[in-house]
């Protein structure tokens, strides 16, 4: 098995990113929206690693590590906020949390 | 030496950690002490920023220059003002916890790192640090559903924008091979033809940053989040992070992507026009003053973007002065909003301001100054901001933009004047509770700055000039 | 074909031993032990939740706390791995940088300790 061409990896990253983006915009369940955001961030991580492979630089892998860490931090904050909302209204339906309008 | 460059950020971060540990080890409620300590940390950091040397360090991811200094001072000022507003408000609302100043401090560290970024990695890290702290701050008023909802809404849309920005960064890296601004500048000016992937990456980065700046069409989160979050948090959100994101936009667009300016200039023009018009029109039917301020801030960001669309040093200088002017107007207006309490509960409708001219003339005068400044009436600060961006845009050959700006200013004058009319010409219902000394101090101080800005115009203008010069080196 | 399969022979041995030991344990307890089932013993172990119940129930915040603490310290360890590998080359400066990073995370740890996030009950 040879190495994967970076162009293919970037294509895969683009597809995954698109799927994640669609997930955030279409899904109503907050947990699924969070998962889709996670998918988006990991797709960009893949794109970074592929870019680093293409140009022969370690920047891509360094950035991947940072992206992973930031995604974890973001998810912890996000889950905390979801739990906060849940204790007020026990639902994961994002349409309900839409009282503010105008 | 690397650490002398980053000394302000290091000092601020360490004091944040120290205040956190101090706060959590206390037996009695440490909120007031922690707030004062944080304020002291801000002042100390401000002094260090002014004394910090110029240079580029940490393997060229971190830079110190006039632009960074200008932006950092603005961020620290915005954060300090919001902190002062929060001290009394949080206590009265029962949400006085010491984590508030600490989170505000960490968010400010994020804005400072953003201002000093010389590499897209640092940009992203600073942006995320600032954003994460604000998501939590928006939801700080735990027991009010509106606050929790604001925090969650901001979180989902903010993470989406961060994801888009990050994807843009990855595309830029994939097609240019570097994330350093200098390297990108070299890569972009070297080749005559720019790969499409790179242009798409730049567009994604603009989209992500435009979201943070709440420029149209990425503004949908602003009114709801501004209304739901506690007013001190809103005053911070509308101030320092927005300005820091703007600083990033300026630095990134003028620096590495400056040679490709013909690609993105039209985009920025369109966003600017749309923001100005939308901010003006959508604010007209508003009854809540916090929502009004949200739409107003969208409009103001449109005016500030005019300077960027001009893509000249004069344009950048105009934008930088506009941002400073906006920060102080905004802080003052939110001081008045924080002072809006009746019988111990906060009120937020414009109609609640009725008769303020008689019940509290000082507060009403300050609010009137802020409203007139937002319209752009001379000789208040808002006038100078608008004058500079309009003239820069005109000189850069963008007359349509200036015409749209003037039209939206006139339309916007309607709702600002309505606030003034309600204060002075409507019958008073009941007086507000007496505001705390800190709140009155902020509103009076900002009123003075806005009203007497002509005295400050010289030094602010030269600082902005030096900052703008850095971008076009 | 045979050459490729020969590489997997240890896996076959592993599978046979695994099945053998598991079967011996189950068979042994079936033949030799006393059978006294009651309802509670037979219910599935699901962190205190019913296995096939409605998923919409009040979520216990303690599970969230544990998982978040895990993920944060797991990523701390993830940063420790490349640092450990490259420690020879980054010298004292690298060591002190990692100490600073660990210090920041320790501050977070002190915070959650004092706030009671580590108490299960």
DSSP letter string, B420-437: HHHHHHSPP--PPPPPPH
Measure the CA–CA gap between C46 and C53, rounded to whole angstroms.
Answer: 11
Tell me the HSE value of B135 on the side-chain side, using a 13 A CA sphere. 26
Q: How confident is the model at residue B18 (pLDDT cuts 50, 70, 90)?
A: very high
Q: How far is CA B399 from the centre of its chain?
A: 27
User: B356 is written with which tokens?
Assistant: 């303020």
Residue span of the structural domain in which A43 resides:
6-88
- Residue with more model confidence, B302 or C44: B302
Is A95 part of any domain?
no
Number of domains in chain A: 1
Is A29 part of any domain?
yes
From B149, B107, B152, B148, select the one nearest B128 (Cα to Cα). B107
Residues of B in contact with C114 (CB under 8 A): 24-25
User: C112 is written with which tokens?
Assistant: 């959650």
Measure the CA–CA gap between B288 and C42, rounded to whole angstroms.
Answer: 59
Measure the CA–CA gap between B404 and B46, rounded to whole angstroms.
Answer: 37
User: B27 is written with which tokens?
Assistant: 């037996």
Residues in contact with A56: Cβ distance below 8 Å, sequence separation at least 6, in sequence order? none
* C90 touching chain B per CB within 8 A: no
What is the CA angle A75-A79-A85, rounded to 5?
Answer: 145
B376: left (phi over 0), alpha (psi -120 to 50) or beta: left
Is A32 part of any domain?
yes
pLDDT along chain A (102 residues), means of 10: 76 94 89 93 94 88 92 92 78 56 47
Measure the CA–CA gap between B419 and B371, rounded to whole angstroms.
Answer: 8
Q: Measured on CA atoms in the order C90, C91, C97, C102, is the torsion positive or negative?
A: positive
pLDDT tens-digit map of B319-351: 999 999 999 999 999 998 888 887 777 788 888
Q: How confident is the model at residue B1 (pLDDT cuts 50, 70, 90)?
A: low
pLDDT at B279 exceeding the cut of 70: yes
Cβ(B212)–Cβ(B149) below 8 Å: no
Minimal Cβ distance to C68: which of A79, A90, A91: A79
A 10 A CB-CB count for B208 gives: 28
Cβ(B108)–Cβ(B238) below 8 Å: no
Q: Cβ separation of B21 and C115 shorter than 8 Å? A: no
pLDDT at position A1: 47
Would you call the peptide bond into C41 cis, given omega within 30 degrees of 0 as the criterion? Answer: no
Measure the CA–CA gap between C118 and C110, rounded to whole angstroms.
Answer: 10
Q: How far is CA B75 from the centre of its chain?
A: 8
pLDDT at position B40: 95
Measure the CA–CA gap between B435 and B315, rounded to whole angstroms.
Answer: 40
Cβ(B99)–Cβ(B152) below 8 Å: no
String of DSSP letters for B351-384: GGGTTHHHH-HHHHHHHHHHHHHHHT-TTSHHHH
User: B69 is written with which tokens?
Assistant: 């200094």
String of DSSP letters for C32-46: HS-----HHHHS--S
pLDDT tens-digit map of B62-120: 888 888 999 999 999 999 999 999 988 888 888 888 899 999 999 999 999 999 888 89
- Per DSSP, B144 falls in state S
Least confident segment among B426-435, C2-11, C20-29, C48-57: C48-57
User: C95 is written with which tokens?
Assistant: 């060591």
Minimal Cβ distance to C71: which of A76, A90, A91: A76
For chain A, positions 55-74, list CB contacts with chain C under 8 A.
65, 68-69, 72-73
pLDDT at B452 exceeding the cut of 80: yes
pLDDT at C92 exceeding the cut of 80: yes
Per DSSP, the three-state class of C31 is helix
Cα separation values, B18 from B132, B139, B321, B394, Å? 20, 24, 35, 50
Measure the CA–CA gap between A63 and A66, rounded to whole angstroms.
Answer: 5
Query: Can you point out the beta strands (E) in B230-362?
Result: 341-342, 345-346
pLDDT at C118 exceeding the cut of 90: no
Minimal Cβ distance to A82: which of B136, B152, B171: B152
Q: Give the residue carrying structure tokens 């002490």.
A: B33
Chain A: partners with 3+ C-beta pairs within 8 Å: B, C
Cβ-count burial B103-117 (b if 16+ within 10 Å, e if not)? bbbbbbbbbbbbbbb
Q: How confident is the model at residue B145 (pLDDT cuts 50, 70, 90)?
A: confident
Minimal Cβ distance to C68: which of A76, A86, A92: A76
Is A99 part of any domain?
no
Residues in contact with A14: Cβ distance below 8 Å, sequence separation at least 6, in sequence order? A43, A47
Q: How far is CA B280 from the centre of its chain?
A: 19
Q: How confident is the model at residue B146 (pLDDT cuts 50, 70, 90)?
A: confident
CATH of the domain at A80: 1.10.287.3510
Question: How far does A47 lie from chain B, in Å, by closest CA?
Answer: 6
Cβ(B362)–Cβ(B354) below 8 Å: no
Cβ(B405)–Cβ(B390) below 8 Å: yes
Closest-approach residue (CA) in chain C for A65? C79
Q: Cβ separation of B125 and A54 shorter than 8 Å? A: no
Q: How confident is the model at residue B136 (pLDDT cuts 50, 70, 90)?
A: very high
Is A1 part of any domain?
no
* A90 touching chain C per CB within 8 A: yes
pLDDT at position B357: 79
Cβ(B12)–Cβ(B108) below 8 Å: yes
Q: Where are the domains of chain B?
A: 260-473
On whether the pTM is more than 0.90, the answer is: no
* B121 touching chain A per CB within 8 A: yes
Residues of A in contact with C69 (CB under 8 A): none
Cβ-count burial A73-101 (b if 16+ within 10 Å, e if not)? bbbbbbbbbbebbbeeeeebebeebeebe
Residues in contact with B399: Cβ distance below 8 Å, sequence separation at least 6, in sequence order? none
* C118 touching chain B per CB within 8 A: no
Measure the CA–CA gap between A47 and A49, rounded to whole angstroms.
Answer: 6
Give helix B240-254 / helix B261-282 axis angle, nearest 10°.
Answer: 150
Q: Cβ separation of C110 and B24 shorter than 8 Å? A: yes
């Amino acid at each position: 098995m040879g190495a994967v061409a970076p162009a293919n990896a970037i294509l895969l990253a683009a597809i995954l990113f698109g799927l994640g983006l669609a997930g955030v915009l279409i899904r109503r369940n907050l947990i699924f929206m969070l998962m889709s955001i996670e998918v988006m961030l990991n797709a960009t991580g893949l794109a970074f690693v592929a870019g680093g492979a293409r140009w022969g630089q370690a920047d891509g892998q360094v950035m991947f590590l940072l992206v992973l860490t930031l995604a974890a931090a973001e998810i912890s904050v996000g889950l905390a906020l979801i739990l906060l909302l849940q204790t007020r209204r026990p639902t994961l339906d994002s349409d309900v949390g839409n009282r503010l309008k105008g | 030496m690397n650490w002398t460059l980053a000394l302000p950020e290091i000092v601020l971060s360490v004091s944040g950690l120290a205040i956190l540990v101090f706060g959590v080890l206390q037996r009695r409620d440490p909120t007031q002490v922690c707030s004062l300590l944080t304020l002291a940390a801000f002042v100390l950091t401000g002094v260090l920023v002014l004394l910090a040397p110029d240079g580029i360090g940490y393997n060229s991811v971190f830079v110190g220059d006039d632009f960074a200094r200008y932006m950092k001072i603005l961020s620290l000022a915005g954060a300090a003002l919001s902190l002062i507003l929060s001290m009394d408000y949080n206590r009265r609302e029962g949400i006085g916890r010491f984590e508030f100043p600490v989170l505000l401090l960490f968010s400010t560290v994020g804005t400072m790192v953003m201002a000093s970024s010389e590499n897209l990695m640092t940009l992203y890290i600073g942006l995320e640090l600032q954003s994460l702290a604000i998501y939590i701050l928006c939801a700080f008023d735990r027991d009010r559903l509106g606050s929790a909802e604001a925090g969650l809404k901001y979180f989902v849309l903010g993470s989406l924008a961060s994801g888009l920005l990050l994807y843009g960064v990855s595309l830029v890296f994939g097609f240019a091979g570097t994330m350093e601004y200098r390297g990108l500048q070299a890569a972009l000016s070297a080749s005559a033809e720019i790969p499409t992937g790179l242009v798409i990456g730049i567009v994604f980065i603009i989209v992500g940053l435009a979201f943070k700046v709440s420029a149209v069409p990425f503004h949908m989160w602003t009114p709801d989040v501004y209304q739901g979050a506690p007013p001190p948090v809103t005053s911070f959100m509308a101030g320092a992070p927005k300005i820091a994101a703007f600083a990033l936009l300026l630095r990134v667009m003028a620096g590495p992507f400056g040679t490709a300016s013909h690609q993105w200039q039209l985009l920025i023009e369109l966003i600017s026009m749309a923001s100005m018009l939308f901010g003006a029109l959508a604010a007209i039917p508003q009854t809540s003053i916090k929502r009004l301020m949200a739409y107003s801030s969208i409009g103001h960001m449109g005016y500030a973007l005019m300077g960027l669309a001009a893509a000249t040093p004069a344009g950048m200088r105009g934008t930088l002065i506009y941002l400073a002017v906006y920060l102080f107007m905004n802080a003052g207006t939110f001081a008045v909003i924080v002072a809006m309490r009746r019988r111990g509960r906060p009120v937020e409708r414009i109609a609640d301001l009725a008769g303020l001219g008689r019940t509290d003339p000082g507060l009403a005068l300050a609010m009137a100054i802020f409203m007139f400044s937002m319209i752009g009436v001379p000789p208040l600060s808002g006038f100078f901001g608008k004058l500079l961006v309009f003239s820069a845009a005109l000189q850069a050959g963008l007359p349509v933009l200036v015409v749209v700006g003037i039209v939206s200013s006139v339309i916007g004058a309607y709702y600002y004047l309505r606030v003034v009319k309600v204060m002075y010409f409507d019958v008073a219902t009941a007086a507000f509770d007496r505001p705390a000394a800190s709140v009155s101090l902020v509103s009076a101080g900002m009123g003075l700055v806005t009203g007497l800005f002509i005295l400050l115009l010289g030094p602010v203008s030269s600082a902005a000039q030096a900052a703008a010069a850095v971008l076009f080196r | 074909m045979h050459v490729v399969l020969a590489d997997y022979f240890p896996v076959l041995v592993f599978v046979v031993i695994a099945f053998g030991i598991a079967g011996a344990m189950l068979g042994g307890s079936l033949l030799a032990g006393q059978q006294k089932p009651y309802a509670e013993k037979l219910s599935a172990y699901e962190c205190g939740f019913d296995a096939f119940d409605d998923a919409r129930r009040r979520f216990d915040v303690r599970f969230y706390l544990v998982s978040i603490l895990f993920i944060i310290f797991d990523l701390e360890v993830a940063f420790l791995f490349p640092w450990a590998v490259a420690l020879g080359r980054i010298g004292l400066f690298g060591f002190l940088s990692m100490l600073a990073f660990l210090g920041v995370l320790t501050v977070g740890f002190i915070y959650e300790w004092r706030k009671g996030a580590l108490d299960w009950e």
